[in-house]
Amino acid sequence: MHQTIQRAGFALTGLALALFSALPAHAIPVTPGAAAVVLPGTTAAADPSLAGTVLADVQTHWVSAIDPIYGFPGAEGELYSRVVRQTVAGTLDFYWRLTVEQPSYPNFVPRSLEITGLSLPNFLTGTSFDANYRTDGVGSTAPSGAFSTGAGNVTYTFSSQNFGPGSISYFLLLHSNATTYDASALATVGVTTVSTFAPTAPIPEPQTWLLMAAGLAAIGLARCRPASKA
């Protein structure tokens, strides 16, 4: 009995190690509905899987609410959205970076970047978003954490202590298991919401559809056959 329990324990340990090893070395799970997590930051030297080729890089302008005294946005800056294809795995990583213009008023600087319109199954575990940020690129300010309220969104947060006028965030990162992407997601910062990149599920090739149809037809025929009599 003891040996059976011990073998079961070894099997569970092996399964846990296999699941853990499926994640990149420095991916931090952000689980929908769970508490916010602190991201440690990483580099391509620490996580060689990050090495890749930039496929898309878009810059858009964001603004905060209107200052009621002066009649123009109290803060503004730039949002950079980027897609990188990993060299070894061929899968996609998604990046965002925020800058805040120097004349912005500290009280109007937004403290979060929300990405919505994501599909959780397109990420590595299918149960959590795999997040972090890069410290080996452009930027100097780290996020204070990240959280998710549902299977379609991730929010990065910043501290008022270190994110204000003149700030430039590090590139915020989401790993995915996808090989294709589109601009179906939305990024919200301040009162600005713009299109951004998101991983997509690959569309099956015609041959795959034919195989699936043939399989379903075979199952249907098998169910229609009368049972043989003994």
Each residue's pLDDT tens digit, 113-126: 999 999 999 998 88
Model pTM score: 0.79
Q: Is the pLDDT of residue 195 over 70?
A: yes
Q: Would you place residue 26 in the very low, low, confident or very high pLDDT band (cuts 50, 70, 90)?
A: low
Residue 225 has what pLDDT? 53
The mean pLDDT value of the chain amounts to: 84
Q: Is residue 185 part of a domain?
A: yes
Q: What is the pLDDT of residue 125?
A: 81
Q: What is the pLDDT of residue 210?
A: 46
Handedness of CA 206, 183, 95, 128 (dihedral sign): negative
Task: Assign 120 to helix, strand or coil.
Answer: helix
Pairing of strands 180-189, 192-200: antiparallel
The domain in which residue 174 lies consists of 26-224
Q: Percentage of the chain surpassing pLDDT 70?
A: 77
Flag whether pLDDT at 28 surpasses 90.
yes
- Say whether pLDDT at 76 is over 80: yes
Give, rounded to a whole angstrom, the gap between the first and last alpha carbons of the chain: 42
Res 193: pLDDT = 98
Comparing 78-92, 121-135, 171-185, the range with the smallest average pLDDT is: 121-135
Q: Is residue 229 part of a domain?
A: no
Asked if residue 6 belongs to a domain, the reply is no
Q: Is residue 12 included in any domain, yes or no?
A: no
Please report whether residue 7 resides in a domain. Answer: no
Where would I find the H helices in the chain? Answer: 2-21, 206-224
- Say whether pLDDT at 130 is over 90: yes
How many structural domains is the chain composed of?
A: 1
Per-residue pLDDT, averaged over 52-66, amounts to 97
Which of the four pLDDT bands, split at 50, 70 and 90, describes residue 224? low
- Alpha-carbon torsion (103, 105, 111, 114), positive or negative: negative
Mean pLDDT of 179-195: 97
Assigned token pair, 131 = 């997040």
The answer to the question of residue 15 being in a domain is: no
